[in-house]
């Protein structure tokens, strides 16, 4: 009789653990974004998979190659699905390619600037999206990832102690661009709102480093006259029209905006301490995610926990 009871308890415990595991795997992080582009307010509600966020949050950091953070695991895709939201947005609002890029830039520029402090903590795109913030390399990596997924030819551009994005244009416009691969990549600032394509803060160095993801020649050159996503529908991600052309006004430039610059590239020291603390919403409940560098089995690793 006791054996039967133990068996029942064991079965019950197994079912509870299985249910808890399934619930944990299905946990979602609800994120609401609002931003303004061309005097129109946009709102996006997006659900990130908790397991995917935990996966990237727990990865080791690389400090000598910021293109590393553009490489997503095939098991944990993020940007492909997230970029689809902008394809749909472009189709619904009849945005040209230029307007779409400006809209994405305006979206990224709403991310809260988060100073890493003494040591760099580079973020994967999903971290910046969920935490709604990061410093210059984090928002630049996020913008680069989205624009590349949308098919545009772009690179990371790093003036001294700073980072932004460069996008290749089909036609010359007013603005600052850097020559690379026999093309001109126009600079995009990501750390605060209002900077347009080709706007370049005066205090940045004229010498820059180009971080080339290696497949930029396969991307399309941005044109102010192309409507790529006119009839885009989801889930058929291949249903896009041939470009339709329409005359547009030249993009406007603005330079009188707050600007952040503290790129230090200093890796975290090899000891145990808190790297980051973020407020996120998981399954409708606000939780605090604490990221620490901790020692385990003689090795250092990054661990994220929520409470």
Rounded mean pLDDT of 151-176? Answer: 95
Measure the CA–CA gap between 105 and 168, rounded to whole angstroms. Answer: 15
283 assigned to some structural domain: no
In a domain, 85, yes or no: yes
pLDDT at 275 over 90: no
Strands 285-296 and 299-306: antiparallel
Percent of the chain with pLDDT over 90: 58
- How does pLDDT run across 99-110, given as a tens digit for each residue? 999 999 999 999
Q: What are the pLDDT digits (tens) for 279-292? A: 666 555 666 666 66
280 assigned to some structural domain? no
Residues 43-82 pLDDT 10s: 999 999 999 999 999 999 998 899 999 999 999 999 999 9
**Domain annotation covers residue 11:** no
Contact call for residues 164 and 189 (beta carbons, < 8 A) = yes
- The pTM assigned to this predicted structure is 0.77
Within a domain: 160: yes
Residue 25 has a CB neighbour count (10 Å cut-off) of 10
The answer as to whether 302 is a domain residue is no
Specify if 287 maps to a domain.
no
Helix (H) or strand (E) holding 228: none
Residue 236 banded pLDDT, cuts 50, 70, 90: very low
Residue 39 lies in a domain: yes
Q: How many domains does the chain have?
A: 1
Range of the domain at 129: 26-270
- In terms of Cα–Cα distance, which of 106, 104, 127 is closest to 55? 127
**pLDDT digit string, tens, across residues 177-215:** 999 999 999 999 999 999 999 999 999 998 999 999 987
What is residue 85's predicted lDDT score, i.e. its pLDDT? 97
pLDDT digits (tens, 9 = 90+) for 22-39: 444 569 999 999 999 999
- Find all residues with CB under 8 Å of 279, minimum gap 6, and list them: 286, 287, 288, 289
For residue 290, give Cα distances in angstroms to 131, 273, 294.
12, 10, 12
| Secondary structure class of 25 (helix, strand, coil) | helix
Enumerate residues 6+ apart whose C-beta is below 8 A from 214.
none
């Amino acid at each position: 009789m006791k054996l039967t009871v133990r068996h029942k308890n064991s079965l019950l415990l197994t079912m509870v653990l299985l249910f808890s595991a399934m619930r944990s795997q299905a946990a979602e992080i609800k994120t609401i974004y609002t931003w303004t582009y061309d005097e129109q307010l946009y709102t996006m509600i997006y659900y990130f998979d908790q397991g995917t966020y935990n996966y990237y949050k727990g990865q080791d950091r690389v400090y000598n190659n910021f293109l590393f953070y553009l490489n997503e695991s095939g098991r944990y895709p993020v940007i492909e699905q997230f970029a689809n939201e902008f394809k749909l947005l472009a189709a619904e609002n009849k945005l040209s390619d230029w307007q779409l890029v400006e809209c994405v830039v305006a979206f990224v520029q709403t991310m809260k600037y988060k100073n890493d402090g003494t040591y760099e903590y580079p973020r994967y795109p999903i971290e910046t999206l969920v935490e709604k913030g990061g410093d210059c390399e984090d928002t630049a990596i996020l913008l680069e990832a989205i624009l590349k997924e949308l098919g545009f030819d772009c690179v990371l551009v790093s003036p001294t102690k700073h980072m932004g994005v460069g996008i290749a244009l089909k036609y010359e416009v007013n603005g600052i661009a850097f020559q690379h691969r026999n093309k001109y990549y126009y600079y995009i600032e990501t750390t605060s709102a209002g900077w347009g394509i080709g706007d370049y803060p005066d205090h940045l160095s004229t010498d820059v480093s180009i971080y080339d993801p290696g497949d930029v020649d396969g991307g399309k050159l941005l044109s102010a006259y192309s409507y790529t996503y006119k009839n885009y529908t989801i889930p058929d991600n291949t249903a896009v029209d041939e470009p339709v052309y329409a005359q547009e006004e030249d993009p406007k430039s603005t330079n009188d905006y707050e600007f952040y610059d503290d790129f230090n590239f200093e890796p975290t020291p090899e000891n145990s301490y808190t790297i980051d603390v973020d407020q996120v919403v998981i399954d409708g409940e606000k939780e605090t995610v604490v990221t620490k560098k901790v020692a385990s089995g003689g090795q250092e690793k990054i661990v994220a926990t929520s409470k």
